Structure 1
Amino acid sequence: MYEQALDAVRANYTPLSPNTFLKRAARVYPNHPSVVHGAKRFTWGETYTRVRKLASALSKRGIGHLDTVAIMGANTPEMYEATFAVPMAGAVINTLNVRLDAEAIAFCLNHGEAKLLLTDTEFAPTVKAALALIGRDIPVIDIVDSEAGHEHVTLGETDYESLLAEGDEDYPWDLPKDEWQAISLNYTSGTTGDPKGVVYHHRGAYLNAVSNAVGWNMAHHPVYLWTLPMFHCNGWC
């Protein structure tokens, strides 16, 4: 009898996904600080709004189920927002190792079948060389970090904030139907040949994040300096 009328439905089952962390934080602590980056300050409510706008803008540009969106960026609000927004749009985020050379970056973009690239202007020389090697056109969005002390050389058709302006802050996103759906694609540094791709799923990313919070004995509202590059396992481990 236990296999009759007891199938998983919305009333008794929710796919595990890190995106639920952000949704809850915005609902419970909308005015609490979420991200501090130099002079920039965001609350959880603001971060959630920006993430939904980015997810919406990506969807409007044709990014959807299991498409790969690559990002070449430092630990900035844009990287943090993309980590949630890309899977919110149903796609897979590929955070590129900023220490790789142009040839390795080109390999990752082609092997991962990236359909769009977000790139910090700090890495413009490497990205420009990589784009010349891949043999196809990829839409490029520039991340212009106002807190960075370098010259901004742009490569894309528009910048990140302009992309956000295209999105809807009420974007009706949903969790994946299957928690085993891919959420991120990460590559090794290619020390023994071409970089090797590793795929995370929503369930694994969620459980890894929870285990870190438990293992760290994380208290309420911790404030800490995020030193681990977010291209390392997306910061979930």
Structure 2
Amino acid sequence: MGNPYEQDLDRNAANHQPLTPLTYLERAAKTYPDHVAIIHGNQRITYRDFWRRSLRLASALAKRGIGKGDTVTVMLSNTPPMLEAHFGVPMTRAVLHSLNTRLDAAVIAFQLDHADTKVLIVDREFSRAVREALALAKAKPLVIDYDDPDYAADAPYPKGERIGTSDYEEFVAGGDEAFAWSMPDDEWDAISLNYTSGTTGNPKGVVYHHRGAALMAYTNTIHAGMAKHAVYLW
């Protein structure tokens, strides 16, 4: 007879839930819906709206066929779409790939191909380098432009041209905030893909899973001594 502690104690919905950061935002939206979640220039976005916009992004991506095993790449600064992508992309079980905004076209092209990027969201501030990269890359993703309303036209790095076939706000507006988002099948499923600098050769891809991202969120909170409703510059 087997070990009695291993009998009838398999994982089920009553005793196990995969660790994932997705549940953190869901809880915040339900617990503090009217609390400000994001401050960006003149924008103030509550947890309720942060959650709804992430759902709309996920829905819009799913309508374009994005799902488990697909890579969504972003070339964004610390803007609301960057935060929305961190939740909206994994809500479809896809993987988020964030590009370093200082990379040149050749390195960007390598990453787009290596990651097999299906969707690419680009801030107009970085459109020149990305346009050059797309010309070099074999990957032909759906390209979505983001035009930051709080980024001055006369900033040190002027806005570039639109290079996509969709506008981010229009793309998100086409999604459904009632989208039935998905928990990961397993907490070890990939949530993000990041690359090394490639200083000694081609960049090396590093995969993070839902469990690791969830635990890192816990440890960052503890390490930084973040109190309730802390205002933190990411």
Question: Does TM-score exceed 0.5, indicating one fold?
Answer: yes
Report the Cα distance in structure 2 between the residues aligned to 1:135 and 1:111, rounded to whole angstroms: 10
Deviations 1:118-145 (A, max 9, x none): 0100001000000000134211000110
Q: In the aligned structure 1, how far is the partner of 2:132 from the partner of 2:224?
A: 41
Distance 1:137 1:71 in 2: 14
Three-state SS of the structure 2 residue aligned to 1:194 is coil
Alignment partner of 1:143 out of 143, 146, 158: 146
3-state SS in 2 of match to 1:122:
helix
Q: How many residues align?
A: 226
1:34 equivalenced with 2:37 (yes/no): yes
Amino acid in structure 2 at the alignment position of 1:107: F
User: Which has the larger displacement, 9-18 or 144-153?
Assistant: 144-153
- Which residue of 185, 199, 209 maps to 2:193? 185
Q: CA deviation at 1:152?
A: 4.7
2:179 aligned residue:
171
Structure 1 counterpart of 2:212: 204
Structure 1, unaligned stretches of length 5 or more?
227-237
User: Take 1:213 and 1:225, find their aligned partners in 2: how far apart are those partners?
Assistant: 13
State the alpha-carbon separation in 2 of the partners of residues 47 and 65 from structure 1: 23
Secondary structure of 2:112's aligned partner: helix
Task: Output the amino acid matched with 1:114.
Answer: T
Identity of aligned residues (%): 53
Asked if 1:15 corresponds to 2:18, the answer is yes
Instruction: Tell me what 2:156 maps to.
Output: none
Indicate if the aligned counterparts of 2:72 and 2:118 stay in contact, CA closer than 8 A. Answer: yes
Report the alpha carbon displacement of residue 2 of structure 1 after superposing the two structures with TM.
Answer: 1.5
1:222 CA drift (Å): 0.4
Matched residues in 2 for 1:10 and 1:173: separation? 17
TM normalised by structure 2 equals 0.95
Give the alignment of 1:74-93 within 5 angstroms: 74-93=77-96
Which of 124, 127, 139 is 2:127 aligned to? 124
Unaligned runs of 5+ in 2: 154-158
Distance 2:139 2:192 in 1: 22
Partner of 2:224: 216
Q: Distance in 2 between matches of 1:170 and 1:15?
A: 22
Structure-2 change in CA distance of 1:223 and 1:23 (3 Å) = same
1:132 alignment partner, SS class: helix
**8 Å CA contact 1:144, 1:152 repeated in 2:** no
Structure 1: 4+ residue segments shifted above 6 A: none
Higher Cα Rg, which structure: 2
Query: Post-superposition shift, 1:23?
Result: 0.4
Deviations 1:21-75 (A, max 9, x none): 1000001000000000001110000000000000000000000012000000100
